[in-house]
Amino acid sequence: MALIFDRYKDRLATLPKERGWMTENLYMYQGYWHQSMRRISVENVMAVQDTFKARPTDIYLATLPKSGTTWLKALVFAMVNRNRYKCKPLSTDHPLLVSNPHNCVPFIETKVFINMPTYADAHSPRIFATHIPYTSLPQSILDSSCRIVYLCRNPKDVLVSMFHFANKLREKSCSPLTFEETFELFSKGVMPMGPYWDHVKGYHEFSLECSENVLFLTYEDMKRDATNNVKRLAKFLGCPFTKEEEVNGVVQGIIELCSFENLREVNKQGNVFEGIPNNVFFREGNVGDWTNHLTDEMSQILDQITQEKFQGLDISF
Ligand code: PAP
């Protein structure tokens, strides 16, 4: 990573800056705000763009941070690997009983960009995740016929979730933000991988252009009807559930294994990476926690921005 940071330091110096949430600054690159010199950083996005090689059989799980990434990683990992690791009855050696979903499905912008041999040789389909905006995806992903699942979430819950996450992981050198300051930054589009609205819109438009390759889902809809969404996901990923599996409760087995309660229990202790505890990815797991944080005025402002930005698009929460 130090080599990567050094390789792109001249480009970094030319980028506009804003106040960061967890790091001192965020940097504007190709229309989006990124952290620098962290595991998920603008330098790594540049490196991925320069080096990452997609395969047509790959699966990519794309999200803006705090939109349900961890949940989606667990569901897709369990679904795609259900013949190797049974979900009903549950295999005692199932990786999700001991590992954080982030360790089962890596982000391309954290380690895969170096094309580690283990990933290069991984059996097919390879499952990866990314927070990279659609317009900044490596060309090899756009050129391949791989499948992309995009999960988005109500902006108000993303804001609240990100506020708590940032409070837990903020660098010591970076002064804390009040909720009001966080709200101001979020409304201006300043958050890691934001603006929120552009990120969502980019993938939504991509899903309309390429519906056979891009599936657009919302966290709220997944919470409301996990069963049908999990079946839909499996069909889209080319591994639909058989009638026998449905009768035998495999779909419910996957949903239970990946439930917030189960994953939180498994991830009570330990770290995903050095300095990032497993438990920071499991806070409340609810729809609508924003009502406990946003004033009526804040809520109205975000509703208005969302209405303007998503005008004419079929996106609702
Ligand atoms: P990431 O992008 O940094 O990986 P991500 O997983 O997208 O984070 O977001 C974490 C949110 O998903 C948390 O929401 P909250 O702060 O509002 O509580 C977390 O609780 C929630 N979450 C994690 N696992 C699950 C799950 N299995 N089901 C539903 N929500 C979950």
pLDDT at position 2: 87
Q: Which pLDDT score, from 0 to 100, does residue 26 have?
A: 97
Beta-carbon contacts of residue 114 (< 8 Å; ≥ 6 apart) = 47, 51
Does any ligand 1 atom lie closer than 6 A to the CB of residue 184? no
| Contact between residue 62 and residue 193 where contact means Cβ atoms under 8 Å apart | no
Distance set, CA 152 to CA 9, 67, 218, 250 (Å): 32, 5, 5, 25
Residue 165 DSSP SS3:
helix
Q: Is the CB of 69 under 6 A from ligand 1?
A: yes
pLDDT value of residue 299: 98
Residue 90 three-state SS: strand
Name the token pair of 10: 């001249």
Own/partner contacts of 276-284, CB < 8 Å, gap of 24 or more, are 276/169, 277/168, 278/100, 280/165, 280/168, 280/169, 281/70, 281/100, 281/101, 281/102, 282/70, 283/161, 283/164, 283/165
CA of 209 to the centre of ligand 1 (A): 28
Please tell me the pTM assigned to this model.
Answer: 0.97
pLDDT at site 41: 94
Q: Using a 6 Å cutoff on CB, does residue 258 contact ligand 1? A: yes
Atom of ligand 1 lying closest to residue 282 CA? 20
User: Among 67, 71, 99, 294, which is best to mutate for testing ligand 1, by the most ligand atoms less than 8 A from CB?
Assistant: 71
Atom number of ligand 1 nearest to Cα 258: 27
What pLDDT is stored for residue 43 in this prediction?
A: 95
Residue 213: predicted pLDDT: 97
Looking at residue 275, what is its pLDDT? 83
Cβ–Cβ < 8 Å for 281, 102: yes
Q: How far is the C-alpha of 76 from the C-alpha of 125, rounded, in Å?
A: 11
The residue ranges of the chain whose pLDDT is under 70 are 112-122
155 lines ligand 1 (CB under 6 A): no
Cβ(46) to ligand 1 under 6 A? Answer: no
Residues forming the active site? 131
| Eight-class DSSP state of 96 | G
Give the nearest ligand 1 atom to 259 CA.
Answer: 27
Fold of 2-309: Rossmann fold (3.40.50)
